[in-house]
Structure 1
Amino acid sequence: MVKWISGSLLITVALAACSPNNVTVDNSIKKYFDQNKVTGCFGLFDNGQGRFTIYNLPRFSDSAYTPASTFKIVNSLIGLEEGVVNDTNTVIKWDSVVRSRTECNRDMTMWDAFRISCPPWYQQLARRIGQPKMQHWLDTLGYARKRDTFKITNNLDTFWLDNSAKVTADEQLGLVKKLYFDQLPFQKRTQRTVRSMMLWENNSNYRLSYKTGWNTTDKGNQLGWLIGWIEENKHPYFFVLQVESPDKNVDFASIRINMLKAILKDYGFFEGKK
């Protein structure tokens, strides 16, 4: 069933992006969550029409969760803007701590660390940025501005992972939309560099850009994000997919992208006709 919503109910959703003419709540998307035995929400913003399509609106607009590795977008922006890293080829040396994710146990460029989503590399980057500059940019950016949650105390290199900082799916959509249009408070070069790391698929029909995130909630459930945009005929559509499950054996690595592509295919994407 599809329900049209207008008026005051749009306020929370509109805060993170431009003011839409309407929001479509599409409950048919629930089947993808049920098939994969997860809960969560999904949002798609058609920039040309100013229209949202959302599944689970209350969770999308009002419920805040750890950003997990999607925060690498912000961490990268700040590191580049402050000159802590010069470009995607900047190397941070391995700290020689052997970790279970063996692919992180090496010297690595920012490009590689972003693409494989390596937490230790970005924790080192946060320490190099330092708390004053990190907090300054978080305040300037207005990330999670609905709550006073992005205040760093003694957890400079874990606050986006330890559930002390939380964002809504709505705010995540606002972040990627502004990033696409160079509307964040950073130099255009900085934003262009981060966008380049998010591009995963590029062909004659579409361009698909995103960042993943995967962590646990404060209740111990698995939580996954997939945030970004798809372009067809130079027309961007911005999306946020969030999934949650108490089952530790759920394969979030494949579920996120498979669910996203199934939903987008239902909406007619990937054929270059949008």
Structure 2
Amino acid sequence: MKNWILATSLMIISLFGCTPNNVTKDDTLKKYFDEWKADGTFAFFNNGQGDFHIYNLPRYTDGKYLPASTFKIVNSLIGVEKGVIKDSTSIINWNGAGSGRAECDANLSMNQAFRLSCPNWYQELARRIGATDMKKYLDTLGYGSFSPDFNMEEKLDIFWLDNSLKVTADEQLGLLKKLYFEQLPFLKRTQRIVREMMLWEDDANYKLSYKTGWGVTEEGNQLGWIEGWIEENNHPYFFVLQIESPDANFDMRSARLDILKKILKQYGFFEGKK
């Protein structure tokens, strides 16, 4: 087991250029998951010092799950890069079909749809991108994995929601870091547009940017994400939080942000002293 953990840590190190001493397994974070009676993983990357703090390392590196609405980051990048939409103010008109969420049944800009996390808007965006270009960009990114028999034409507007596409938390964090530093294979303008939509909290002490996701695993469990970065004194720190619960009534919307903020507070954030 120890050799396996070391090998896994070395894999992370190869992705981020860290040293073995910079990967810390942090089991003190378990209490926050226990408060919600949930399983999951959390990773925190201090870009300035190059060190990782990870809770539940095996799940972080090897657990593959549907990205759910966190895929809106990638979908937005592709839509802007391909010219399907010009920028975050571009509007896709509602087609009149009920989505089950009144706030999403309207003519919305990309910024509105992104922040409301409207699946119907982004399903239409995927259809406009098309299967060929969607696959091309995903292959270029090397993001996630599909089963060998996956057909993009058949699942173009649902693959990030129905467990066809699966990603690890490690892949999610890697994408975020590259997005922040404009290192993805997209124009810098494209990356800036998407990055700006992720900013939720901005005050004198910190800036908190993130995207959430919420779906159902193949086993029928609720699966949630919240991933992004926090900036203090112009230094970015990256995080990815993933939560899973078998409880059909689990309050994922509250749990994600509660666990994230408690962890960040434990790490000394929100006071502008980092």
Which bracket does the TM-score occupy, shorter chain normalised?
Answer: over 0.9
Does residue 114 of the first structure (1) align with residue 114 of the second (2)?
yes
Q: Superposition pairs for residues 149-228 of structure 1, below 5 Å?
A: 152-228=152-228
Alignment-derived partner of residue 13 in structure 1: 12
- Which amino acid counterpart does residue 162 of structure 1 have in structure 2? D
Cα displacement (A) at 1:153: 4.6
Q: Is the 8 A contact 1:150 1:165 kept in 2?
A: no
- Which amino acid counterpart does residue 245 of structure 1 have in structure 2? S
What do residues 26-83 of structure 1 show as CA deviations (whole Å, max 9, x unaligned)? 1010000000111000000001111100000000000100000000000000000000
Q: Superposition pairs for residues 42-191 of structure 1, below 5 Å?
A: 42-144=42-144, 152-191=152-191
CA distance in 2 between partners of 1:115 and 1:215 (Å): 17
CA distance in 1 between partners of 2:124 and 2:10 (Å): 38
TM-score by length of 1: 0.94
Structure 1 runs of 4+ off > 4 angstroms?
145-151
- Which amino acid counterpart does residue 34 of structure 1 have in structure 2? D
CA distance in 2 between partners of 1:219 and 1:146 (Å): 18
Count of matched residue pairs: 270
* Higher share in helix: 2
Q: Residues 145, 123 of structure 1: CA spacing in aligned structure 2 closer, same or farther, 3 A cutoff?
A: closer
- Which amino acid counterpart does residue 18 of structure 2 have in structure 1? P
Alignment-derived partner of residue 250 in structure 2: 250
Q: Which runs of 5+ in 1 are unaligned?
A: none
Cα displacement (A) at 1:158: 0.4
Alignment-derived partner of residue 25 in structure 1: 25
Q: Which runs of 5+ in 2 are unaligned?
A: none
Cα displacement (A) at 1:12: 3.0
Q: Identity of paired residues, percent?
A: 60
Q: Is the 8 A contact 1:149 1:166 kept in 2?
A: no
CA distance in 1 between partners of 2:216 and 2:192 (Å): 30
What do residues 214-263 of structure 1 show as CA deviations (whole Å, max 9, x unaligned)? 00001000000001000111111100000000101111001101110000
CA distance in 2 between partners of 1:90 and 1:244 (Å): 34
CA distance in 1 between partners of 2:117 and 2:150 (Å): 21
Q: CA RMSD in A?
A: 1.9
CA distance in 2 between partners of 1:82 and 1:99 (Å): 26
Secondary structure at the aligned position of 1:250 is classed as: coil
Secondary structure at the aligned position of 1:64 is classed as: coil
- Which amino acid counterpart does residue 11 of structure 1 have in structure 2? L
TM-score by length of 2: 0.94
Secondary structure at the aligned position of 2:218 is classed as: coil
Q: Residues 6, 255 of structure 1: CA spacing in aligned structure 2 closer, same or farther, 3 A cutoff?
A: closer
CA distance in 1 between partners of 2:129 and 2:168 (Å): 25
Point out the more displaced range, 141-150 or 174-183.
141-150
Q: Is the 8 A contact 2:144 2:167 kept in 1?
A: yes
- Which amino acid counterpart does residue 14 of structure 1 have in structure 2? I
